[in-house]
Structure 1
Amino acid sequence: MRPVSVRYDNSSVRVCMKKKAMCKIGLAVMLLLTPMMGWSAKRLNIVIIVGDDWGGPYASAYTGIYGRNLPSNVVKTPNVDRIAQNGVLFKNAYVNAPSCTPSRSSIFTGRYFFNTGGGAVLGGTWDFTIPSFPLLLLDAGYHIGLTSKGWSPGTPRNAPFGGTAHYYQYFGTSVSSFSKSVTKWTAKGMPFEKAKQTMLDQVRGNFEAFLADRKPDQPFFYWFGPTNTHRTWVKGSGKALWGIEPDSLKDQLPVYLPNNPEVREDMADYLGEIQALDAYIGVLLKKLEEIGELDNTIIVATGDNGPGGFPRGKWNLYDFGVATPLVVWYPHSTGGRVVTDFTTLMDLAPTFLEVAGVAIPPKTDGRSLLNILTSPLSGQVDPQRTFAITGEERHNAKARDDSLPYPARALRTARYLYIRNFAPDRWPMGCPYVAAHVPYVFHDIGEPSPTYDWIITNRSIPSAADYFTWAFAKRPAEELYDAHKDPGQINNVADDPMYADIKKSLAEKLLAELKKAGDPRVIGDGGTFDRPPYTDLKTVACQDTIPLNWAPGSHH
């Protein structure tokens, strides 16, 4: 057996021995725990599936959960549903930040995104003084592996996973672009079912390669992060490949999305990619059954932020941007439960460490979910889990004047969403910027889409004006939404006297929690993220308005 050491600074406890006498005490404790952590204890394996931009939360397991029509009523995800039926579905699960890098930084460290150093912004630099749970599992004797997207974009790539040393993609990467690859193959005459099976064989092959490197009876941790749910995907592929009729979404779209053929088709295509992701999950479940490890593995399926290319999705603190599917299959627990406890994905790191019998590092902000996973109860299990905090700083680097971020924090409770926008003079989705070879107008969109194209093209039509405002307009310093009356979160009641006491209470609660957590945005001068290395302060050619003659394709 390899010696067990716990990385608190991404170096081992053996380094700690050379420092202070106090470290010897910690080492002695770890040596006492070592027998408990051996492979012979049959520790649980851990498999997590993180769909890139998989939000909503959209999966058929969520049908009816929120008491209103949503695209979850249309999408079919039997494998996600199977996990929920044998485990726990979280109704109130949130990412900590609605952008790839900071969201994943929070997951890997168990910290609020704003406490992850350079990982707090898209494309940031990893802080190696912060421990990451995969490397802690590695030191505890786990075999670890990664396929597709882990921590990215950022430098160095997949740093919290040890870089490329634990990468498994020998059998191909086409799974990260399902509709593109399958459409190309079928256009050349390959039958759809064969093309689909080719994709599933890649998933299986990569997982089997990972398992082949495992020592006998060694517990394992596997991260599978396909990016097919991240734009772009093939227009019309939802219907062409999966039989999802766009018109089946006529009464299922949220209020902030235009209910027209273009947007319904766009959503159907997104749901098609979710169904592909679900098929991938089925491959992993089947393989775990074949090797007899299904009953010894905790399985988690979730996403890293809301859907890209839709208003109020990715890079927004509304539910559509930060609410995430989260289903967890914990072996030999009571299945089919729906819990209403609030959680953010930073709670996964301490959960996995507790499952593995590994000490949780200091400065971890998340709290283990193990008490919920092992409980037989539905509804509210932990009375302390009544809110979630989310936030954002910088998505794309050059979205505003001086490349500044859009700082905001939010507090979500069972009934209310309170948002504090710290720089309401800045454009939330980036300033208007039209240039050759740039396929979007607002740079924090991140990627173009038929939905955004329709909204921008029709912005001057009275019936479409609200969609443009909800998507792109500047926002006030405070936003407050009564989600019971306004589940779409489009009617800001922050200035309504009837909600004055509620707003005051939520604002004070949010500020207190942020200060307790040491958020740089509310500590000191609050300008940490407005300065290098988080911004390079370069000038961006912002425009006050979009040219009247702008149209999809005119920007290419």
Structure 2
Amino acid sequence: MTERTFFLVRAAAAALFVSASVATAAAQDAPRRPNIVFLFSDDHAYQAVGAYQDPRKLLETPNLDRIAREGVRFDRCLVPNSICGPSRATVLTGKYSHLNGFYNNTNSRFDGAQATFPKLLQQAGYQTAVVGKWHLVSAPTGFDYWSILPGQGIYYDPDMIEMGVRSRRSGYVTDVITDLSLDWLKKRDRSKPFLLMSQHKAPHRPWSPAIRHLGHDGDRAYPEPPTLFDDYANRSLAERDQDMTIARTMTPNDVKMGGFNERFSPEQRQAWDAYYKPRNDALLKAGLQGADLVRWKYNRYMHDYLGCIKAVDENVGRILEHLDQEGLAENTIVVYASDQGFYLGEHGWFDKRWIFEESLRTPLLVRWPGVAKPGRVEGRIVSNVDFAPTFLEAAGIAIPPEIQGRSLVPILRDAAPADWRRSFYYEYFEYPAPHHVRPHHGVVTDRYKLVRFDGPDLDAWELFDLREDPRELKNVYDEPTNAPIVAELKRELERLRKELKVPAKPPREAFGDAPLSKPSPRS
């Protein structure tokens, strides 16, 4: 090799090295699309998340609180239709029930052909998976992997439908869902960003704790909500004529007094009976009646419901630990939410459905390292209708115009748009079964709620002033001094209905009394 040739080869090699280095640096500097882990529970009241600091101090949730501490706690995340299946359809589509077609848990069936954020992520190169509770009747679409509970599922040794094949899994359902979620994370294609939706059954009725959590509270007497014995005075027939009270509606099965249908092993059955039987025998011997019996039921309900949440919190911790161990945490958005709020004795109730605060408001905790400032508390009105556009913007994907929510990315960056919503539209349909809650719709602001009950046997308006009456105990609609407020809120209600393309009258099937398809299990 001549000297000249040597230098030419060396120069070419150097040029290739520089070119490769620039390309590598450019690749390293290019923003990476974040992974998304969406942790979802069923009927988890914000009152039962430690980070929300409920005065009753119902339960410590260290792993959920970690997400709040390392991310943003949203204090006004509202749902447009407070019931399980419709909420899940809203999360997927970013649309209200009247547009995505899933109105209720009785006869609705999700149209899997419509656009969803998992489909759009998948088309953009994300790996997508959903594990756990689905509750939308039709099979999942837009997922590379899915393993779901049939209907509501059960707590012990649940069946799972994995990519269309049904089989029984051994273990407690919350642990099983997390096991499957972690298995998928470990086996995924590591060259691609991912979406994992890990969705728990717990703490849904019948509130069956894991055996390890029986007696978790040491027979604690829980502080009562101030409205446990609400008499529904100063409100309409709707609040008085419902069927969701601890006093009347809870069944022996709910409070573990009757025959209990779980897939217990002999050892689990023995441990279950060892915990509940002596306490049930003591109740029967005491012969409690009236308010004393309601208090007993409330405490049993709290033991069981909160015991289910302990398992959820533990399993959230398992997911967070895996992200840490695999070096994924820094580029992964972690979201924890529930399908809606839930009553923990407020107004004497359990369940959800209402526009009222404990039902309307869901917990929402978001951790996004490098974007969301740790420990921030956000008070603006947001919603689960905003989840889909948030995930799409975070992934750099255009948001379809038919989506009705708004991306939370600016709010997570603490740069909320000046025109962020100051009012929110709510709608509920399912009537009369299972809890006899009248259909209603309304508008919510930071201070007021204007509600119209417009079912087949009731046409009534209510107005609540949340500043003066945070427990929503007094309807002030007819007070003359509120006439200007009522008029303003009615105008805003009509504006929202027009903007959201709400039909003048819901179709009959929206209420659940006209079968459209094979009914889904009721929530």
Rate the CA distance shift 1:322–1:41 in 2: closer, same or farther, 3 A. same
CA deviation after TM superposition for structure 1 residue 266, in Å: 1.1
Contact 1:39–1:218 (Cα < 8 Å) also in 2: no
Matched AA of 1:220: F
Rate the CA distance shift 1:145–1:533 in 2: closer, same or farther, 3 A. same
Contact 1:305–1:314 (Cα < 8 Å) also in 2: yes
Aligned to 1:338: 377
Aligned to 1:167: 146
Aligned to 1:353: 392
Matched AA of 1:340: G
In the alignment, does 2:474 pair up with 1:491? Answer: yes
Aligned to 1:74: 58
Residue-by-residue CA offset, 1:406-435 (whole Å, 9 max, x unaligned): 432122211112111122615xxxxxxxxx
**Whole-Å separation in 2 of the counterparts to 1:245 and 1:39:** 56
In the alignment, does 2:133 pair up with 1:149? Answer: yes
Residue-by-residue CA offset, 1:269-322 (whole Å, 9 max, x unaligned): 212222221111111000111110011110111110233796274122211212
Rate the CA distance shift 1:336–1:272 in 2: closer, same or farther, 3 A. same
Aligned to 1:316: 354
Instruction: Please state whether the residue corresponding to 1:216 is helix, strand or coil.
Output: coil
Matched AA of 1:104: R
Which structure's CA Rg is the greater one?
2
In the alignment, does 2:41 pair up with 1:51? Answer: yes
- 1:388 aligned residue (408, 415, 424): 424
**Whole-Å separation in 2 of the counterparts to 1:113 and 1:512:** 18
Show structure 1 runs of 5+ residues with no match.
Answer: 1-35, 183-195, 427-475, 539-556
Contact 1:46–1:221 (Cα < 8 Å) also in 2: yes
| TM-score, length of structure 2 as denominator length | 0.71
Instruction: Please state whether the residue corresponding to 1:384 is helix, strand or coil.
Output: coil
Matched AA of 1:294: A
Matched AA of 1:247: A
Aligned to 1:366: 405
- 2:79 aligned residue (61, 75, 95): 95
Show structure 2 runs of 5+ residues with no match.
Answer: 1-25, 159-169, 231-245, 247-290, 517-523
Q: Where in structure 2 are the equivalents of 1:175-186 lying within 5 Å?
A: none
Contact 2:344–2:350 (Cα < 8 Å) also in 1: no
Higher RCO, 1 or 2 (CA under 8 Å, sep at least 6)?
A: 2
Contact 2:508–2:514 (Cα < 8 Å) also in 1: no
In the alignment, does 2:103 pair up with 1:120? Answer: yes
Q: Where in structure 2 are the equivalents of 1:366-445 lying within 5 Å?
A: 366-375=405-414, 384-394=420-430, 406-423=438-455, 425=457
Return 342-351 or 198-207, whichever deviates more: 198-207
**Whole-Å separation in 2 of the counterparts to 1:104 and 1:37:** 37
Matched AA of 1:93: C
Contact 1:100–1:153 (Cα < 8 Å) also in 2: no
**Whole-Å separation in 2 of the counterparts to 1:309 and 1:334:** 31
Rate the CA distance shift 1:482–1:199 in 2: closer, same or farther, 3 A. same
Q: Where in structure 2 are the equivalents of 1:228-247 lying within 5 Å?
A: 228-234=202-208, 240-243=214-217, 245-247=219-221
- 1:536 aligned residue (490, 514, 520): 514
CA deviation after TM superposition for structure 1 residue 130, in Å: 2.5
**Whole-Å separation in 1 of the counterparts to 2:384 and 2:179:** 28
Contact 1:49–1:302 (Cα < 8 Å) also in 2: yes
**Whole-Å separation in 1 of the counterparts to 2:460 and 2:85:** 25
**Whole-Å separation in 2 of the counterparts to 1:239 and 1:252:** 27
Rate the CA distance shift 1:74–1:512 in 2: closer, same or farther, 3 A. same
In the alignment, does 2:325 pair up with 1:290? Answer: yes
Aligned to 2:271: none
Matched AA of 2:181: F
Residue-by-residue CA offset, 1:488-526 (whole Å, 9 max, x unaligned): 212111112222221221122112101121111x2xxx2
CA deviation after TM superposition for structure 1 residue 57, in Å: 4.2
**Whole-Å separation in 2 of the counterparts to 1:40 and 1:250:** 54
Contact 2:157–2:171 (Cα < 8 Å) also in 1: no
Contact 1:89–1:338 (Cα < 8 Å) also in 2: yes
Contact 1:239–1:268 (Cα < 8 Å) also in 2: no
- 1:262 aligned residue (283, 297, 310): 297
Matched AA of 1:365: Q
Contact 2:334–2:368 (Cα < 8 Å) also in 1: yes
**Whole-Å separation in 1 of the counterparts to 2:212 and 2:478:** 42
CA deviation after TM superposition for structure 1 residue 245, in Å: 4.3
CA deviation after TM superposition for structure 1 residue 384, in Å: 2.2
Matched AA of 2:397: V
Identical amino acids, percent of aligned pairs: 28
Rate the CA distance shift 1:283–1:532 in 2: closer, same or farther, 3 A. closer
Matched AA of 2:319: L
Aligned to 1:227: 201
CA deviation after TM superposition for structure 1 residue 40, in Å: 7.6
Contact 2:103–2:510 (Cα < 8 Å) also in 1: no
Matched AA of 2:501: G
Rate the CA distance shift 1:494–1:533 in 2: closer, same or farther, 3 A. closer
Rate the CA distance shift 1:480–1:221 in 2: closer, same or farther, 3 A. same
Aligned to 1:132: 116
In the alignment, does 2:242 pair up with 1:207? Answer: no
**Whole-Å separation in 2 of the counterparts to 1:200 and 1:423:** 37
CA deviation after TM superposition for structure 1 residue 202, in Å: 3.5
Q: Where in structure 2 are the equivalents of 1:449-464 lying within 5 Å?
A: none
| TM-score, length of structure 1 as denominator length | 0.67
Return 95-104 or 123-132, whichever deviates more: 123-132
Instruction: Please state whether the residue corresponding to 1:477 is helix, strand or coil.
Output: strand
CA deviation after TM superposition for structure 1 residue 234, in Å: 4.0
CA deviation after TM superposition for structure 1 residue 200, in Å: 7.2
Residue-by-residue CA offset, 1:145-167 (whole Å, 9 max, x unaligned): 111113x143x1334x45xx621
Instruction: Please state whether the residue corresponding to 2:88 is helix, strand or coil.
Output: helix
Instruction: Please state whether the residue corresponding to 1:85 is helix, strand or coil.
Output: helix
Aligned to 2:258: none
Contact 2:38–2:198 (Cα < 8 Å) also in 1: yes
In the alignment, does 2:312 pair up with 1:277? Answer: yes
CA deviation after TM superposition for structure 1 residue 531, in Å: 5.0
Instruction: Please state whether the residue corresponding to 1:270 is helix, strand or coil.
Output: helix
**Whole-Å separation in 2 of the counterparts to 1:250 and 1:488:** 14
Instruction: Please state whether the residue corresponding to 2:381 is helix, strand or coil.
Output: strand
Matched AA of 1:110: G
Report the number of matched residues.
413
Rate the CA distance shift 1:239–1:140 in 2: closer, same or farther, 3 A. closer
Contact 1:423–1:477 (Cα < 8 Å) also in 2: no
